[in-house]
Amino acid sequence: MIYLNSIGSYLPENEIFNASNLEKFAVSEDFLLNKIGVISFRKKKVHEETSDMCVKAFLDLQARAHFYQEDIDCLIVCTQNPDGYGLPHTSAIVHAKLGLKQNCAVFDISLGCSGYVYGLSILKGFMLANELNNGVLITADPYSKILDENDKNTAFLFGDAATATLLTRAKQNTWKMGKFLFCNDGRNHQAIHVNGESKKFAMNGREVFNFAAKVIPKHINDVLQKNNLAIEQVDHIILHQGSKFLVNTIQQKLGIIEEKAPFLAKHYGNTVSSSIPMILKDVDPEYKYILICGFGVGLSWGSCILERAQ
Amino acid sequence: MKISMANIQRLTAEIVSIIDADKIDIDLSFAEAGLDSLDTFTLFLKIEENYGFSIPDIDVNKIKTFQDLLNYSNNRLLENA
């Protein structure tokens, strides 16, 4: 069996406060606080690379989980904003910067906001298939590389962050991964994309909202059913932190209280594939069941149940 | 089936509880009635889910007032009848 052991994270120091842009985009403070929900976000330095962010998240994980570089048998980086042009893969650069051993499997996966859930399943399956003991899943998707600072639809939402999650065979004080459920609707892939000419990020906010509001509540009920759980048995639901409005809409459609599926990204924003582990790292260890749900670019979505293993 | 202003007022009240939905003037724009852009998205979504048709992006820009929404919705229902 493979368990989710610990999570490390990294937020760049440079904090951008959205209040300073309200006038520029004719957005009210009420709308910012109650709909967007992001007071501030972090932005990496121009010359700080994705791999640098990965390294910092890994080192934070190492400080928490106390392991050596040579213990790591597999490293996955989930990003769609890799170093350079993505060749070589960012995980190979991270492998070098961390001085990991040669017999360590290393590869990238290209997914956005559903990437953490997919990544957990990929790493777990890869470790089981190849009899590995310790694997690390890193998420690092610095959208500051592609954001258009004049785009009102996205300028308030996205922040840079990285996380690193250790999967091990050791069971104590970990999370057991239950059954996963993955879906995709490629017909609407243009809803979130990078424009080929401008090289800037573009998002159709209404299309993403409609997708999330229509599809995700049913999907969450489906993954609960797959795991033979009722929503009342789950202590906490971690939704991808797209925006406060998006999270609140899904929570209301599920008929649960806000505290059970809260928006918690007000000081760092939508950090894409890092949004779930940014919350999961601080979750109450007394919880028995947690549901995690990522959705976005693709349009892709996936969920799973985490069960506390004592 | 036909949608009435009362139907739209009821759906609006579900979104923005502070608005006295019964008193929304049919000629008001959504912004004038106190709905922001995300509230308006939600109202369109509720119309779609309650009445079984979709409002494509290309049509959204044509729907500025409650009267526009009422006319649009009833035309779509007629098309689908």
pLDDT at B19 over 70: no
- The answer to whether residues A133 and A59 belong to one domain is yes
Same domain, A156 and A199: no
Q: Report how many domains make up chain A.
A: 2
Is residue A23 domain-shared with residue A156, that is, in the same domain? yes
Nearest Cα of chain A lies from the Cα of B81 at a distance, in angstroms, of: 24
Here the CATH number for the domain that contains residue A185 is 3.40.47.10
Which structural domain range is residue B17 located in?
A: 5-80
Alpha-carbon distance B48 to nearest alpha carbon in chain A (angstroms): 10
Q: Retrieve residue A6's tokens.
A: 């610990």
Residues A260 and A278 occupy one common structural domain: yes
For the segment B48-71, the average pLDDT, to the nearest whole number, is 92
Mark which of A131, A153, A171 sits at the end of a domain: A171
Closest Cα in chain A, distance from residue B4 (Å):
24
- Give dist(CA A160, CA A54) in Å, integer: 11
Q: Residue A19: how many CB atoms within 10 A of its CB?
A: 12
The CA distance from A7 to A223, in Å, is 23
CATH number, position B12: 1.10.1200.10
From chain A residues 239-278, the ones with a CB under 8 A of any chain B CB are 245, 249
User: What pLDDT, in 10s, does the model give residues A50-68?
Assistant: 999 999 999 999 999 999 9
| Residue B18, pLDDT above cutoff 80 | no
A187-205 burial by CB neighbour count: b if 16+ within 10 A, else e? eeeebbeeeeeeeebbbbb
Query: What is each CA distance from A90 to A9, A40, A77, A138, A152, in whole angstroms?
Result: 17, 27, 7, 11, 30
Asked if the C-beta of B45 comes within 8 angstroms of chain A's C-beta atoms, the answer is yes
A159 and A129: one domain? Answer: yes
Rounded Cα gap, residues A119 and A75, in angstroms: 11
Tokens 């350079």 sit on residue: A84
Judge: A214–B57 Cβ closer than 8 Å, yes or no. no
A161 lies in the same domain as A260:
no
| ipTM field | 0.84
Same domain, A241 and A259: yes
Are A207 and B42 an interchain contact pair (Cβ–Cβ within 8 Å)?
A: no
Q: How many domains does chain B have?
A: 1
Q: Test A31 with B36 for CB contact under 8 angstroms.
A: yes
Measured between CB atoms, does B18 come within 8 Å of chain A?
no
Query: Of A137, A154, A171, which residue constitutes the final position of a domain?
Result: A171
Q: Is the same domain home to A208 and A278?
A: yes
Put simply, the answer to whether B36 touches A206 (Cβ < 8 Å) is no
Question: What values do phi and psi take at A151, rounded to 5?
Answer: -95, 110
pLDDT in tens, B21-50: 777 888 889 988 888 999 999 999 999 999
pLDDT at B66: 92
Cis peptide bond upstream of A280, omega within 30: no
Containing structural domain, residue A96: 3-171
Does A214 reach chain B within 8 Å, measured CB to CB? yes
Nearest residue in chain B measured CA to CA from A244: B38
Give B57→chain A minimum CA distance, Å: 8
User: Which neighbouring-strand residues pair with A134?
Assistant: A168
Interchain proximity B38–A35, CB inside 8 Å: yes
Shared domain for A149 and A194, answered yes or no, is no
A145 lies in the same domain as A270: no
Distance CA A213, CA A154 (A): 19
How far apart, in whole angstroms, are the C-alpha atoms of residue B6 and residue A303?
Answer: 39
CB A290, CB A173: distance < 8 Å: no
Helices (H), A66-146: 90-98, 115-129
A161 and A209 inside one domain:
no
A35 interfaces chain B, CB cutoff of 8 Å: yes
Q: What is the model's pTM?
A: 0.93
Q: What is the pLDDT of residue B20?
A: 76
> Is any Cβ of chain B less than 8 angstroms from the Cβ of A307?
no
Contacts of B75 (CB under 8 A, 6+ apart): none
Q: Which residues of chain A have pLDDT under 70?
A: none
The last residue of one of the domains, among A113, A139, A171, is A171
- The pair of structure tokens assigned to B42 is 């939600």
- Cβ of A245 within 8 Å of Cβ of B60? The answer is no
Question: Shortest Cα distance from B73 to chain A (angstroms)?
Answer: 18
Are A204 and A294 in the same domain?
A: yes
Q: Identify whether the C-beta of residue A202 lies closer than 8 Å to the C-beta of residue A190.
A: no
Closest Cβ–Cβ partner in B36, B48, B49 for A35:
B36
Beta-carbon neighbour count of residue A28 at 10 Å?
Answer: 11
